[in-house]
Chains A and B, each alone.
Chain A
Amino acid sequence: MTSPPAEPTLSAQNLVRSYGKHLAVDGISIEVRRGEVLGLLGPNGAGKTSTMQMLTGNLAPSGGTIRICGIDLLDDPVAAKARIGYLPETPPLYRELNVSEYLHYAARLRRVPRARCAAAVDRALARCGLGEVSRKLIGALSKGFQQRVGIAQAIVHEPELVILDEPTVGLDPNQILDIRALVRELGDNHSVMLSTHILSEVEAVCDRVQILHHGRAVFASSIAGLREFQRGRTVMLSLQRPPAVEVLRAMPGVAAADAEGDGRFRLRFAADADPTAEIVSRAGREDWGLRELAPAQTTLEEVFVQLTRNDPAAQARP
């Protein structure tokens, strides 16, 4: 006997949401499996927040189905919501409460039994590094700490799915690193879904990425798959005595070449071609003075720009 495949923590099919005539979300399907961190990426106004609001029951979808651990969110919202922790774009904090009071309230709202509340709050405080400020009023905390309180609120009841809407926006670099580490840690025993428009964040913390644009999913892949796909596809080439850019562009296997000044070029390889060896030997033969040949660092950014600019409006531009 083999056990049936585990139910995905979150499975949303063909979500649609319209505001009047405007389609904010247009047929997005999302799946998050157990212990996975999914990044939802997209420019501002792509429909990330609307999608997350629908997944957490804050917004009623115009169409589509949402199942949380196999429970239909629309049929049985109370049971489904008990399994979700949600941090909206603006953390829902009561400034007049202190951190510990607030987390108690959040835990009680999420039906944590009264006897276990204190332990649950202590755990959330510890995980989010809030131990020292637990008696402070939320209104008196810095933005970074408030954001952590927002995350603590989302995990205090040990939900199976944690949904974070732009968890690092407006934080300083150190705080961003802290929050990212926390998200990674959450991914060990919760399923996490987070939205962002910062590409490096997705690469740093996510297992899979889904890119939204104009309310549609334009790309979905695992980060590993994305890296594999992108490996060697775009390289930075630096030469001491560079030839004309047309020479590089004409090389077999090179799809595009852009000069970036100071002898630096960005080369994009054609599909299924790897002209790396050819470039190196040609550089030696023609005495270009090869300084550097390295995979470009901003691969996800390129995918992003390619995908999100690939709409009719952009193509119509001269």
Chain B
Amino acid sequence: MILTIAAKEIRALFNSPLAWLVLTVVQVILGYGFLKRLDDFLQIQPQLAQLASPPGVTELVAAPTFATAAAVLLFAVPLLAMRLIAEERRNQTMALLLSSPLSMTQIVIGKFAGLMGFLLLLVLITLALPLTLAANTSLDYGLLASLALALLLLAASFAAVSLYTSCLTAQPIAAALLAFGLLLAMLFMGETAGDSLRGRGWQVPAALAQVLSPLRNFEPLGKGMIDSWAIACPLLLTAAFLVLAVRRLDGRRLRG
């Protein structure tokens, strides 16, 4: 059932120009950034060679590319997710799902899985850029895997937040703006509040701020540190917003 809904969502995405546009724009932005950094890397390579343990091409070229992809996701995911529930409500097609033998959880997970299928594609095309270098140089595959995992986790948490805001309104654009605003607020909070809380020695609120701050957990993984807390935080955030989405939809059924 979940797969049926997910497959339908992926097909709906590719039926609309939005998905193709996002893929194109992302590839152009990432491709440009990647080539620029590769160019810079080749110029400074002689100087790097004089260092005792010089940073490799994966660290200097691939890692920034993934960071750019993370920033792009902040804009792209709310746009890709906005229709998930909001459009069903606007077109009054929600009744098809609600009168089918499905639980609300299956509906939400199905929608989420469909979006993640598409985002996995985005992660893969990001990963493809540094992999083009594999023919001529040796890459740090451990770091690449860690970067890809970090990007995927980030995408999942962005997707869950955006799916939740899509349950709040019947206007897809409003859902996208809400998601964008909420994600930005969470980023700022994680950056500033997290630090000041930890500075005062309040460990629990600081940990909570970290859960709510997707980009903060991106950093350790982006450096190749497989930190289990940094993996757990985005997963917790994702689960929390999926539960909120289920509750929200159940609430709509109760209140009408």
Contacts and interface: CB of A to CB of B under 8 A. Distances in A.
A60 B95 contact: no
Interface string B129-147: 0000000000000000000
A60 B98 contact: no
Interface string B92-109: 111111111111000000
A153 interface: yes
A298 to B, nearest CB: 34
Contacts of A60: 253-254
Contact of A109 (B15, B97, B253, B256): B97
B12 A90 contact: no
Chain B, interface size: which category? Answer: 20 to 34
A58 B95 contact: yes
Contact of A57 (B1, B5, B92, B98): B98
B4 A88 contact: no
Interface stretch (A76-84, A119-127, A233-241, A310-318): A76-84
Contacts of A109: 1, 4-5, 96-97, 100-102
Contact of B253 (A59, A84, A95, A106): A59
Contacts of B256: 17, 19, 50, 53, 59
A116 to B, nearest CB: 15
Contact of A106 (B1, B91, B92, B96): B96
Contact of A79 (B97, B101, B253): B101
Contact of B4 (A53, A80, A94, A105): A105
Contacts of B8: 105
A93 interface: yes
B101 A82 contact: yes
A292 interface: no
- Interface size class, chain A: 20 to 34
A191 to B, nearest CB: 16
Contacts, number: 72
Nearest to B15: A96
Interface string B11-42: 01001100000000000000000000000000
Interface in B202-256: 253-254, 256
Contact of B99 (A19, A50, A57, A90): A57
Contacts of A53: 256
Interface in A280-318: none
B99 A56 contact: yes
Given A60-B254, A78-B103, A92 B4 contact: no
A58 B98 contact: yes
A105 B110 CA distance: 13
Given A78-B103, A86-B99, A105-B8, 9 more contacts: A78-B101, A79-B101, A81-B102, A92-B92, A92-B93, A92-B94, A96-B12, A106-B96, A153-B96
Interface of A: 17, 19, 50, 53, 56-60, 77-82, 84, 86, 88, 90, 92-96, 105-106, 108-111, 153
12 contacts: A56-B99, A57-B99, A60-B253, A60-B254, A78-B102, A80-B101, A81-B101, A88-B95, A92-B91, A92-B96, A109-B5, A109-B96
